[in-house]
Amino acid sequence: MKRIIITGFSGFVSRHFLNYLYDNKKEYQVLGADINEPKFDINNYSDVLDISFKKCNMLDENVVSDMVQEFAPDYILHLAAFSSVAYSWEHPAECFNNNTKIFLNVTNAVRALNKKCRILSVGSSEEYGNVSKEQLPLKESMNLNPVSPYAVARVSQEMMSKVYVNSYDMDIVLTRSFNHMGPHQDERFVIPSFIRKILDVKESGRGTGTIETGDTTIIRDFVDVRDVVRAYYELLMEGTPGEVYNICGGKGVELSEVLEEIADIIGVDIIGKVNPEYVRPDDNRQIIGSVDKIKRDIGWEAKIPLRQTLTDMIETMRNN
């Protein structure tokens, strides 16, 4: 049975990755690593997956080294990171140190293992920075221009990945993952926060309400997390070492439209009011990716429509 380490195991992306393995009867021995305990029951996967969990601080290189040496993985899905752009503005040094240090600890541990192990280095569309309409859709060959502390850390991780591929012949595949969302996503992120606020209006018995938002004129390329984890698995199996792949839907949606869609599904009328405290200092105005490369190389493309994603998120939040 092949072995895979999932860092950032307790997050919502990891949970959906496990669901993907389970639903498709892909048998693996899985070691999850995270500083927080998972909020889901790993025993639910036991008839397909052999899962264990290690609570640890991956900033400790000795901890990471011992874990990799003992488990000897065939694959590592590296999800561990501070993933909030807003948080990176408030804590730039902590975000940069955390995201780059953990990645270096993982890659150095694998290099010392002297065993073939593929790493999926998860990056972000934030790496592209602010672009003009003429540069859309964003292709992997474009120059990067990060405009947030979070994006700078992701670019650093990507550059270090390529150094390790070229200098040490390591097997690392890279992504620039666009805005993904889905059931169980933390309400600190923009779309779940919209859903929570609009559900609160509905549950109060009012048919209309005003909610505070950030800048809803920005455009994002949203993709369902269940499509994203399918891409992660297929890249672990078929991606080319040293190559970067956009994981995106290939179309842009203004945040105001998403807000209206959520309100329509829930059945209330909503007015969005911009709170200046929610507006980031230098936000990317529009992010739309090209899906051509990943579709050409491994045949992946997003399948789940936005309304279905939002409907499933709303149902999950209602039930919880």
Domain ranges, ordered by start, for the chain = 3-182+223-248+289-303, 190-218+252-286+312-319
What is the model's pTM? Answer: 0.96
- List residues bridging with 55 in a β-sheet: 34
CA distance 43 to 52: 9
Residues contacting 274, CB < 8 A, separation 6+: 212, 213, 214, 215, 216
The CATH class of 190-218+252-286+312-319 is alpha beta
pLDDT (tens digit per residue) in 174-215: 999 999 999 999 998 999 999 999 999 999 887 788 988 989
pLDDT of residue 276: 81
Name residue, tokens 């279905």: 308
Given the candidates 3.20.20.370, 3.40.50.720, 3.30.910.20, 3.40.50.80, the CATH classification of the domain at 3-182+223-248+289-303 is 3.40.50.720
Backbone phi and psi for residue 267, each to the nearest 5 degrees, phi listed first: 95, 40
pLDDT (tens digit per residue) in 144-163: 999 999 999 999 999 999 99
Q: For residue 290, give the 3-state DSSP assignment.
A: coil
**Which candidate, 190, 191, 154, places its Cα nearest to that of 175?**
154
The mean per-residue pLDDT over the stretch 225-252 comes to: 98
pLDDT (tens digit per residue) in 105-129: 999 999 999 889 999 999 999 999 9
CA distance 158 to 14: 20
pLDDT of residue 274: 87
Of 65-69, 95-99, 201-205, 305-309, the one with minimum mean pLDDT is 201-205
Confidence of residue 277 (pLDDT cuts 50, 70, 90): confident
Query: 253: how many CB neighbours lie within 10 A of its CB?
Result: 16
Confidence of residue 86 (pLDDT cuts 50, 70, 90): confident
Axis-axis angle for helices 255-266, 190-203 (nearest 10):
30
Confidence of residue 52 (pLDDT cuts 50, 70, 90): very high
